[in-house]
Amino acid sequence: DVDDTAPVVNANQTFSYAEGKTANFQVGTVTATDAVGVTSFAIASGNNSGFFAISNSGVITLTAAGAAASAASNDFETNPNTFTLG
């Protein structure tokens, strides 16, 4: 039996964290529903710089690129930064 219905990611999920976090820091966990069960997650958009990774269970983490001191994802000196991942 094939699951031919795409999972639905729960709307309006937001996560925040303080600057200066290290690689593999857990930013948050995405939740979704599916008739058969969600088996994996992927970041489809909004991650061109590769600052974030997502596990098969939906945990978003900072990558080494995202944890770099000069990365916009980890330096809020001028302004807080916002990233929208799809």
Per-residue pLDDT of the chain (86 residues; tens, 9 = 90+): 567 778 889 999 999 988 889 999 999 999 999 888 888 899 999 999 999 999 999 999 999 999 988 887 877 776 778 889 98
User: Which among 62, 73, 60 is positioned nearest to 29, based on CA atoms?
Assistant: 60
What does pTM read for this prediction?
Answer: 0.86
d(CA 40, CA 83): 21
Provide the token pair at 22: 């290290």
Contact criterion met (CB below 8 Å) for 62 and 22: yes
